[in-house]
A and B are shown apart, each in its own frame.
Chain A
């Protein structure tokens, strides 16, 4: 069944269809949650909260073809809130207490690189970097997710790259 049909069923209250949709998108959601939040348990909690919010709100999604965009937007909103909350309460957990050696979490070096890159970036820049470079989304998709004009997304990308001192071709940017 096409995704769009599943979304329509889920909007009518079909739980199996909703579950299947979440299964389709869980890899990306989990990966993104981990990119934002770093810790596996925080990422799992994010998935739960995003599932909850999406389940609660799915009837309000006007265009079923925007399900993925909408889901990512919910996730980003959640992660940004968490990020602010952690900053405010300065939850210190530098050491990675229970880092697993499996393939489902970030290794130390990756985490360090991620930390360093995201540290100074303001949230808008962080969002576009993650969506563009880690998730390979187009400028138009990013504009849909963040609900901003494409021009804004492009200028955020440009400034974020300058801050990260990344050297990329303009063409790579605006595909």
Chain B
């Protein structure tokens, strides 16, 4: 376009364009996503695993492809289910490919019906789609306080689970959500799952029955058995003299797992292989999962897991590489936060970390803190940065019984992020100084790398 007329032509053309009808639908979808986020301000993360750290990603960049959304709008119930998994591309793909298995199980108590509508399951995770329905409950709003998950033998399952727990029947009488249960590498998907629900307001008051809503569902193993594909890698990559050993890549229908390990000789504590992707010969990429469980920290064998999008429904290509260029890390002598439990303050920690509130009780610590001066693309995208591996000044681990994190979508500044993390301790706290370690910190080392998977 090198003259004024061309410019005028383009402008005239642009102004004759009328938006297609999909634009209205896109506006509705955008609002629907916003509503999901508005009501889901809290996520509850619980773990029954002892050693492994858990990594859960805050959902920020939710996307729904418009063509997919319009195809599904014809099917109301599927559309509802898609609406609650908009943060997870892999679950959407699974639903699109009929990978969701309908379940029919309900439980009624205290005027609330819990209805399990379906499951998506493979060896990496079990996602339960449920709804809470008002059947004349006295209190109209509340949240799930606890969920019991037992296997066919009546034992607790070894897993990490997370759920959005809130409902408010004054707004709508059905609240649909998911419970996501992630299994560690050596974990087993139960044959049957016995679930119990406890809500904030009922509960414990009636003493004998801590889980008034109980349901048992059979897990459809035939839906996913033999779909897992494993590729041995056994290669070492180097980034700024830090060694990372890649064990294997496992492709599940709803996720791809990369199993890896850091060398103990490294001078840096590495938190994350920031931009790792799988790439095929044609340049197609499968990147980090966009929400939910994003990985497991080191188990006793030192192995870690991170999750990428699944290639399952795309088909595994002939040529496949793993590559990246950036890791998040802190020097090993600067990788913890020291809290004085008597003075109620932080003694040392990274320079851009500020404690907003610190509440210490006999067996619990709640930390609210803010990281400032972050570059815009440094959004840590996580609920929790602190690991539940906490040590006293003698270097002995102080045992925790679990931790939870609350996200606050409300007050996000462009260059700062706030966190609210709570740790429950097994014993009454005796130590004056506690050393908290990180899962992740937005500080980076860079050097490109690439290895062949097949």
Contact = CB atoms under 8 A, between A and B. Distances in A.
Contact of B1 (A18, A27, A113): A113
B1 A30 contact: no
Interface in A94-148: 102-107, 110, 113-114, 116-117, 133-134
B26 A114 contact: no
Given A113-B10, A166-B4, A30 B30 contact: no
A35 B10 CA distance: 10
Given A44-B26, A47-B27, A164-B2, A102 B20 contact: yes
Contacts of A54: 30
Interface residues of B, number: 41
Interface in B62-76: 62-67, 69
Interface in A1-59: 15, 18-19, 22-23, 26-27, 30-31, 34-35, 40-41, 44-45, 47-52, 54-56
Contacts of B13: 106-107, 110
A48 B19 contact: no
A52 B62 contact: yes
Nearest to A91: B283
A3 to B, nearest CB: 16
Contact of A55 (B7, B26, B30, B285): B30
A45 B27 CA distance: 9
Q: Which size bracket describes the interface of A in this complex?
A: 35 or more
Contacts of A133: 7, 11
Contacts of A90: 283
B20 A40 contact: yes
A82 B14 CA distance: 20
Contact of A47 (B18, B26, B283, B285): B26
Nearest to A89: B285
B66 A44 contact: yes
Interface in B1-36: 1-4, 6-7, 9-11, 13-20, 22-24, 26-31, 33-35
Contacts of B35: 15, 55
A55 B23 contact: no
Contact of A116 (B1, B22, B28, B34): B1
A98 B66 CA distance: 15
A26 B10 CA distance: 19
**Of residues B1, B33, B64, which shows the largest number of chain A Cβ atoms within 10 Å of its Cβ?**
B1
B37 interface: yes
Interface string B28-70: 1111011101100000000000000000000000111111010
A168 to B, nearest CB: 7
A48 B27 contact: yes
Contacts of A15: 31, 35
B17 A113 contact: no
A60 to B, nearest CB: 9
Given A31-B17, A110-B9, A110-B10, A49 B30 contact: yes
A29 B66 CA distance: 16
A62 interface: no
Q: Which of A22, A52, A106 has the most CB of B within 10 A?
A: A52
B24 A26 contact: yes
A165 interface: yes
A105 B4 CA distance: 22
A132 to B, nearest CB: 10
B31 A55 contact: yes
Contacts of A93: none
Contact of B26 (A51, A134, A166, A167): A51
A50 B34 CA distance: 11
A106 B9 CA distance: 12
A34 B22 CA distance: 14
A30 B27 contact: no
Nearest to A34: B17
A37 to B, nearest CB: 13
Sorted nearest first, the 6 A-B pairs with minimum C-beta distance are: A51-B30, A55-B34, A48-B26, A117-B1, A30-B19, A52-B30
Given A51-B30, A110-B14, 6 more contacts: A31-B14, A48-B27, A48-B69, A52-B31, A55-B31, A117-B1
Interface of B: 1-4, 6-7, 9-11, 13-20, 22-24, 26-31, 33-35, 37-38, 62-67, 69, 283, 285, 409
26 contacts: A18-B31, A19-B31, A23-B24, A31-B17, A31-B19, A34-B14, A41-B67, A44-B26, A47-B23, A51-B27, A51-B30, A51-B34, A52-B31, A103-B17, A104-B20, A105-B17, A110-B13, A110-B14, A113-B9, A113-B10, A114-B1, A114-B10, A117-B1, A117-B7, A164-B1, A167-B4
